[in-house]
């Protein structure tokens, strides 16, 4: 059938955001401290399954890299009770409805798999991708998946640019290991950002949405 490719809408939707310094100061956080952004998803089921493990990992990261602070991106429509695990996490702030500013403030991002991985890639942020569904969903769905990676940025790049921690692989220990590695190994972090920059340069070269239309014939 005939199809049109118009590019990824996030390229046009990325908003201007407050610079890192006033943003962190406005949250009561430190400018020079390692900063990790947590993006636990925009759906209730995602946050319920991901956030407790992310908070546990955050505590462990703080133990290994003292002074680390955390900024959590929250979708506006989600219930306050979902974020109860954050109440006792020191050095953490929650931001509603401004994910671009959260990403710009971070040194490392831990994000739910999905569109947020592309949003994180646009500013070339080093990231760890996580996801978990119910055991039944995973057992039914996994045999139908014919790819080796799940994250959009890895699929688009055709290689595993960023680590993916999926289902049983998504543990607090695994997240901690990846985040600590990225915070303490600038060579690895730079390599990830360079890989993301290559992807983003291709997307941006497509230009604004109106100019990106390309026709294809598919079977």
Rounded distance, CA 13 to CA 151, Å? 20
Matching CATH number, 2-217, of 3.30.70.3270, 3.40.50.2000, 3.90.550.10, 3.40.50.150: 3.40.50.2000
3-state DSSP assignment of residue 214? strand
Q: What pLDDT is stored for residue 218 in this prediction?
A: 45
Q: What pLDDT is stored for residue 85 in this prediction?
A: 93
Q: What pLDDT is stored for residue 150 in this prediction?
A: 72
Q: What pLDDT is stored for residue 111 in this prediction?
A: 97
Q: What pLDDT is stored for residue 219 in this prediction?
A: 45
Domain boundaries, the chain: 2-217
Q: Quick one: which of 182, 175, 196, 192 has its CA closest to 38?
A: 175
Q: What pLDDT is stored for residue 151 in this prediction?
A: 82
3-state DSSP assignment of residue 218? coil
pTM of the model: 0.84
Q: What pLDDT is stored for residue 216 in this prediction?
A: 42
Q: What pLDDT is stored for residue 167 in this prediction?
A: 86
Q: What pLDDT is stored for residue 214 in this prediction?
A: 47
Rounded distance, CA 106 to CA 125, Å? 8
Q: What pLDDT is stored for residue 135 in this prediction?
A: 57
Q: What is the mean pLDDT of each run of 10 residues along the chain (219 residues)?
A: 66 67 95 96 94 97 97 94 92 93 96 90 94 64 60 82 93 98 97 89 56 46
Q: H/E element holding 144?
A: none
């Amino acid at each position: 059938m005939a199809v049109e490719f118009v590019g990824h809408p996030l390229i046009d939707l990325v908003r201007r955001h407050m610079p890192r310094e006033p943003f962190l100061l406005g949250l009561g956080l430190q400018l020079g401290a390692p900063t990790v952004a947590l993006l636990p998803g925009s759906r209730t089921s995602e946050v319920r399954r991901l956030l407790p493990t992310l908070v546990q990992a955050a505590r462990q990261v703080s133990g290994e890299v003292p002074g680390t602070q955390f900024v959590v991106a929250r979708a506006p429509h989600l219930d306050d009770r979902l974020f109860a695990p954050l109440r006792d996490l020191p050095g953490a702030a929650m931001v509603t409805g401004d994910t671009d500013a959260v990403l710009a403030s971070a040194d490392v991002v831990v994000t739910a798999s999905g569109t947020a991985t592309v949003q994180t890639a646009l500013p070339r942020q080093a990231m760890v991708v996580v996801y978990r569904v119910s055991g039944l969903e995973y057992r039914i769905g996994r045999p139908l998946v014919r790819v080796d990676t799940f994250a959009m940025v890895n699929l688009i790049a055709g290689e595993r640019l960023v680590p993916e921690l999926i289902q049983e692989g998504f543990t607090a220990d695994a997240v901690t290991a990846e985040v600590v590695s990225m915070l303490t190994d600038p060579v690895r972090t730079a390599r990830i950002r360079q890989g993301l920059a290559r992807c983003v340069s291709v997307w941006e070269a497509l230009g604004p949405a109106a100019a990106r239309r390309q026709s294809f014939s598919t079977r």
